[in-house]
Amino acid sequence: MSYSQTPLSKQLGKTATPETAVWASTEDLTPRLEQLQFILPCDQVDLFVQADDETWTEYLAKQKGFVRKMVTIDLSYNQTQGSNCSVWSNVQWASLEMWKAIPE
């Protein structure tokens, strides 16, 4: 897992391995970005990201067309005040067809 920090956010990510990044040709591919926002209690962010990484990210990384997944966390929150935080999940796919072909 790679980490990179900016003053207002933390990014965590996973990139496709050579075994999963296999498709016939890049000529006909139009990359797509799936973006999801989760709003949850700030004190649950670390648990959420860990559970997401251990389940959903691992599953997606095995799918044909998966390129990478980045999770961005808003670091401007105060965990002690019971506020809500935003977590963004950005999944890059080789094409819309490959993205939509994964079983739900």
Domain borders along the chain are 2-15+31-95
Residue 3 has pLDDT above 80, yes or no: no
Q: Over the stretch 10-54, which tens digit does the pLDDT of each residue have?
A: 556 666 554 555 555 555 678 999 999 999 998 898 999 999 999
Strand order through the sheet with 9-15: 2-6, 9-15, 66-74, 84-93, 32-41
Coil, strand or helix at 15: strand
Nearest alpha-carbon partner for 56 in 79, 74, 38, 81: 38
**pLDDT at position 83:** 84
Nearest alpha-carbon partner for 39 in 86, 81, 73: 86
The strand pairing partners of 9, in sequence order, are 6, 74
Q: Over the stretch 44-100, which tens digit does the pLDDT of each residue have?
A: 989 999 999 999 999 999 999 999 999 998 877 666 667 888 999 999 999 999 999
